[in-house]
Amino acid sequence: MTTHLTHWGAFEAVSDGRRLTEVRPWSGDPEPMPLIENVASAQHHPTRIDRPHIRRGWLEHGPGAPGRGDEPFVPVSWDRAFELLSGELRRVYDEFGAESVYGGSYGWASAGRFHHAQSQVHRFLNCLGGYVRHVNSYSMGTSTVLLPHILGDLYWMLGNFTAKSVITEHTELIVAFGGLSPKNAAVTPGGVSRHHTRGWLAEARANGCRVVSVTPLRDDTPAEAGAEWLASRPGSDAALMLALAQVLDAEGLADNDFLARYTVGYDRFAAYLRGESDGVVKDPRWAEAITGVPADRIRALAHEMAAARTLVTVSWSLQRARYGEQPVWLGVVLAAMLGQIGLPGGGFGHGYGSTGSVGEPTRRLGVPRLAQGVNPVETFIPVARISDMLLNPGASYDYNGQRLVYPDIRLVYWCGGNPFHHHQDLARLRRAFARPDTIVVHDAFWTASARHADIVLPSTMTIERDDYGAGENDRMFFPMPALTRPHGEARDDYAIFAELSESLGVGKEFTEGRTAEEWLRDLYEQWRADLSARGTTMPSFDEFWAGEGITLPVAEPGQVVFADFRADPDAHPLTTPTGRIEIFSETIDGFGYADCPGHPVWLEPEEWLGGAAAQRFPLQLIANQPRTKLHSQLDVGAHSQSVKVAGREPVRLHPDEASARGLRDGDVVRLFNDRGSCLAGLVVDDAVRPGIAQLSTGAWYDPDPSDPTFCRHGNPNVLTADRPSSTLSQGSTGQLCLVQLEAFTGELPDLAVSAAPETLPVCD
Ligand SMILES: Nc1nc2c(c(=O)[nH]1)N[C@H]1C(S)=C(S)[C@@H](COP(=O)(O)OP(=O)(O)OC[C@H]3O[C@@H](n4cnc5c(=O)[nH]c(N)nc54)[C@H](O)[C@@H]3O)O[C@H]1N2
Ligand SMILES: Nc1nc2c(c(=O)[nH]1)N[C@H]1C(S)=C(S)[C@@H](COP(=O)(O)OP(=O)(O)OC[C@H]3O[C@@H](n4cnc5c(=O)[nH]c(N)nc54)[C@H](O)[C@@H]3O)O[C@H]1N2
Ligand SMILES: [Mo]
């Protein structure tokens, strides 16, 4: 048995050299995840890319030839692929410069840290002179920009949020906006070793902790928590939070000493709560009409929060929506009004149910990584502005107090991500992808992004190469020796870039004369020597490689976030402009953005159940993270396939919504709005609030050949809008949009995406 790490857990496997013959969860995992079943079953699937391919039109007519996404591919040898790609890279860098290459290449790739695809592609492009990069993420793009203005750096917080063990011991009430999802906490970037969300919540409950789960889906919080379910309208959390704040303010429950000592701007916010600034008191009755939560329940909850040690936690999904700043900011404000920030088990959290790492003890050490080099290009985009950038070269736009200009992109290089999974409004993305001269994709599978590229290079899967890895804030550092040889002619991204950089005259810069095996050993030994100089002893590389993984030390097992700020705000100020929690931000106010003013407010989104658009499209689509896979990864794998209905992605609907449409469990249905439509397989479930259609992300986009707005498989991103959360953060809003749903009555179309695309005879 050899151990291997994925973003969704560690497993032990036996291999015959070509495939895994036995897979079982890592013995140290108390709550193993069935997602590991996707790996072996996908490895030799017909959608593996077995050799380099070039799109026919590009091969015949050169860069810029139309037909991207519609044409067959021509298999070529590696030598031919390197010749064509290095020639094209040379042309673009020489004629248009590094500012014309988009190498942001957003995506999760695989868990192993040396073969981390983004590190590899960024290092490679830096050797060539740099590239236009992206900032922020689809995960937390809105919070990443907001929080430094009002509370502090999000990435610091994610590693330092109060430990789950402290919550178990001290917290009496968790108010979880967006729930505490065990399916999401199954995943950590770089891997989770020990899953324990259910166990943690069961223990907290046994210790007297109550959970209120504010979400449209009952199972966003596991049964073990025994949670009260408040099924408010999606997109309305800011109104609910304002009403909770209004009760605290009006009924003398706010901690005024805390507000005076640790925060700035409460008065201006309170004037809004009280209706002094706009004539509308934000009381529970006002919020009931918006959220659907009874006013009495809101008032009582505010009292319960003030009477208990309360953790207010907001999932990341709430900010992946229009005006997504507001519920995050208000979560901070509520926690400040309760006066519990910096106390054990109280205060504000963000993402306890969004990833496995939040609330894990803060790890003291990083793990070895390959340096990415220096990118001299200053131009960047907020990551979710990809279509805007490609469609509008030279246009200017606002972001976080800056005025920026979109570059003119000639070449797009993607390695380790799937934009036709992650971006919104896929028909628009397709138009955007038609613009550049050349699109290059490395992937192990024929994803929709690979099918929309010109030069497609087959990368290995993580089980096919030597690596090592540890998840963010995870204590286990695993060796990951290759379990099998590669599928077909697949190569490691590192090997591909090594060869390309050689032919482009920067081989020495990229490889520094090392093979991947030499890098693994050298990076490890360098790390070990650095630690040894600081008094921490680690095994030699050979011992590590032959072992079962090592346990990394943590700084302190029971951290309490902002405890030092609470103890002495002058000695330990926050990193905000005032050093205090900013309930009113002069900086944000100074930007003058109507869609994100100087203090948190309720703003009505374009697409929500309380608005006019719901007359035509009466269901709120929840496009959340999938339970049976990570994003689009290994969608062809056994566990992902096990929940499909007639081969389509499952969509969940409340029994009343199903019967109102004459639909039954197992029916194939069509979801649609003005942007697009898709098929899905119906699952009728009363865990879903009425008014909701829950279709998780991850089904590979399978456009109808005559209509790219129609996905035959169930990718919700043909329906979502390519609108930013706000001008401030320009974050993704993929979580929510409005749709209608009906029976699908036509002949069920075959899926093209579950087979390799059409290929022509080899050309060399
Ligand atoms: N509607 C809607 N859309 C969303 C979201 C939402 O909530 N709603 N959530 C968003 C979020 S939070 C995220 S993070 C994104 C995720 O978006 P992505 O991270 O782009 O999605 P993945 O499917 O993880 O894509 C990773 C790709 O890398 C490939 N890969 C794996 N290992 C390797 C390797 O070693 N080398 C190479 N070259 N490739 C490799 C995989 O096969 C896969 O195609 O989606 C976003 N999209
Ligand atoms: N199994 C699995 N786990 C994952 C991932 C995966 O792909 N698969 N992806 C990982 C990644 S990259 C990320 S960024 C995180 C994302 O973590 P999150 O963003 O927290 O996860 P989601 O599943 O998108 O959303 C969580 C829940 O929020 C609820 N919700 C949606 N809109 C609203 C709203 O307006 N108000 C309220 N109160 N609730 C709402 C939905 O019911 C949804 O199920 O998950 C990580 N974990
Ligand atoms: Mo994410």
CA distance linking residue 721 with residue 719, whole number of Å: 7
- What per-residue confidence (pLDDT) applies to 431? 98
Closest alpha carbon to 673 in 748, 750, 603, 606: 606
Residue 53 has phi, psi (to 5 degrees) of -135, 150
Nearest-5° angle of CA 699, CA 703, CA 704?
135
Pocket of ligand 2 contains residue 216 by CB under 6 Å: yes
Active site residues: 106, 108
- What per-residue confidence (pLDDT) applies to 364? 86
Q: Which ligand lies nearest the alpha carbon of 34?
A: 2
SS3 at position 504: coil
In a domain, 599, yes or no: no
Pocket of ligand 2 contains residue 338 by CB under 6 Å: no
In a domain, 458, yes or no: yes
The residue assigned the tokens 């004629």 is 95
CA distance linking residue 103 with residue 386, whole number of Å: 11
CA distance linking residue 429 with residue 431, whole number of Å: 5
Same-domain status, 621 and 676: yes
* Span between the terminal Cα atoms of the chain, in Å: 41
- Count of other CB atoms within 10 angstroms of residue 423: 26
Q: Would strands 677-684 and 650-653 be described as parallel, antiparallel, or unpaired?
A: parallel
The CATH number linked to 204 is 3.40.228.10
In a domain, 269, yes or no: no
**Ligand 1 centroid – CA 139 distance (Å):** 11
Surface-to-core class of residue 50, CB atoms within 10 Å of its CB (0-12 exposed, 13-18 middle, 19+ buried):
middle
Stated length of the chain? 764
**Ligand 3 centroid – CA 317 distance (Å):** 9
Same-domain status, 344 and 428: no
Structure tokens, 83: 């010749």
**Tens digit of pLDDT for each residue in 125-146?**
999 999 999 999 999 999 999 9
Ligand 2 atom at minimal distance to the Cα of residue 625? 23
Question: SS3 for 680-736, per residue?
Answer: EEEEECCCECCCEEEECCCCCCCEECCEEEEECCCCHHHCCCCCCCCCCCCCCCCCE
Same-domain status, 177 and 321: yes
630 neighbors 35 (Cβ within 8 angstroms): yes
In a domain, 720, yes or no: yes
> Which residues have CB under 8 Å from 88's CB, separation 6+?
63, 411, 437, 438, 455
Pocket of ligand 2 contains residue 142 by CB under 6 Å: no
CA neighbours closer than 13 Å in the CB half-sphere of residue 473:
23
Same-domain status, 118 and 241: no
In a domain, 80, yes or no: yes
Question: SS3 for 294-314, per residue?
Answer: CHHHHHHHHHHHHHCCEEEEE
Ligand 1 atom at minimal distance to the Cα of residue 625? 7
Please choose from 354, 387, 421, 715 the residue to mutate so as to test ligand 1's pocket, defined by most ligand atoms within 8 A of CB. Answer: 421
In a domain, 380, yes or no: yes
Distance (Å) of CA 23 to CA 9, 19, 573: 12, 11, 49
Q: Which residues approach ligand 1 with their CB closer than 6 A? A: 106-110, 115, 117, 138-139, 320, 415-418, 421-422, 424, 442-445, 447, 459, 493, 623-624, 630-633, 697, 716-717, 720, 734-735
Structure tokens, 683: 């699952």
Please choose from 177, 315, 732 the residue to mutate so as to test ligand 2's pocket, defined by most ligand atoms within 8 A of CB. Answer: 315
Dihedral class, residue 136 (left if φ above 0, else alpha if ψ from -120 to 50, else beta): left
Strand runs labelled E in 575-706:
581-582, 619-622, 650-653, 668-672, 677-684, 692-695, 703-704
In a domain, 265, yes or no: no
CA distance linking residue 482 with residue 467, whole number of Å: 7
Provide the H-helix boundaries in 339-409: 386-391
Surface-to-core class of residue 174, CB atoms within 10 Å of its CB (0-12 exposed, 13-18 middle, 19+ buried):
buried
**Ligand 2 centroid – CA 316 distance (Å):** 7
**Ligand 3 centroid – CA 138 distance (Å):** 5
SS3 at position 629: coil
**Tens digit of pLDDT for each residue in 451-491?**
999 999 999 999 999 999 999 999 999 999 999 999 999 99
> Which residues have CB under 8 Å from 672's CB, separation 6+?
678, 719, 739, 740, 741, 742
> Where is 41: in which H helix or E strand?
helix 37-43
Ligand 2 atom at minimal distance to the Cα of residue 189? 12
The residue assigned the tokens 């995870």 is 474
The CATH number linked to 698 is 2.40.40.20
Closest alpha carbon to 353 in 149, 627, 583, 581: 627
Pocket of ligand 2 contains residue 234 by CB under 6 Å: yes
Structure tokens, 207: 């210790």
> Which residues have CB under 8 Å from 288's CB, separation 6+?
294, 295, 298
35 neighbors 26 (Cβ within 8 angstroms): no
CA distance linking residue 213 with residue 227, whole number of Å: 6
- Count of other CB atoms within 10 angstroms of residue 666: 12
**Ligand 1 centroid – CA 717 distance (Å):** 13
Ligand 2 atom at minimal distance to the Cα of residue 236? 35
Same-domain status, 126 and 209: no
Same-domain status, 570 and 652: no
CA neighbours closer than 13 Å in the CB half-sphere of residue 596:
35
SS3 at position 371: coil
Same-domain status, 234 and 337: yes
SS3 at position 438: strand
- What per-residue confidence (pLDDT) applies to 563? 98
> Which residues have CB under 8 Å from 60's CB, separation 6+?
none
- What per-residue confidence (pLDDT) applies to 567? 98
What string of DSSP letters covers 215-273? SSBGGGS-GGG--EEE-PPTT-HHHHHHHHHHHHHHTT-S-HHHHHHHEE-HHHHHHHH
Task: Please name the residue whose Cα sits nearest to atom 39 of ligand 2.
Answer: 178
**Ligand 2 centroid – CA 315 distance (Å):** 7
265 neighbors 580 (Cβ within 8 angstroms): no
Domain boundary among 517, 543, 569: 517
Closest alpha carbon to 175 in 353, 321, 325: 353
> Which residues have CB under 8 Å from 420's CB, separation 6+?
426, 429, 447, 448, 449, 451, 452, 701, 715, 717
CA distance linking residue 716 with residue 632, whole number of Å: 12
In a domain, 283, yes or no: no
Pocket of ligand 2 contains residue 346 by CB under 6 Å: no
Task: Please name the residue whose Cα sits nearest to atom 17 of ligand 2.
Answer: 354
**Tens digit of pLDDT for each residue in 83-94?**
999 999 999 999
Closest alpha carbon to 755 in 636, 643, 662, 640: 636
Same-domain status, 167 and 243: yes
Same-domain status, 379 and 474: yes
> Where is 169: in which H helix or E strand?
helix 164-170
In 736-753, which positions are buried (b, 16+ CB within 10 angstroms) versus exposed (e)?
bbbbbbeebeeeeeebbb
Query: What total of structural domains would you count in the chain?
Result: 3
Same-domain status, 325 and 474: no
Surface-to-core class of residue 517, CB atoms within 10 Å of its CB (0-12 exposed, 13-18 middle, 19+ buried):
exposed
Same-domain status, 331 and 430: no
Same-domain status, 569 and 629: no
Distance (Å) of CA 98 to CA 104, 131, 246, 378, 410: 12, 5, 52, 10, 10
Q: Which residues surround ligand 3, an ion (CB under 5 A)?
A: 139
Find the domain containing 706 and state its range.
612-743
Closest alpha carbon to 9 in 168, 191, 237, 246: 191
Low-confidence stretches of the chain (pLDDT < 50) are: none
Please choose from 233, 334, 625 the residue to mutate so as to test ligand 2's pocket, defined by most ligand atoms within 8 A of CB. Answer: 625
The CATH number linked to 478 is 3.40.50.740
CA distance linking residue 109 with residue 115, whole number of Å: 9
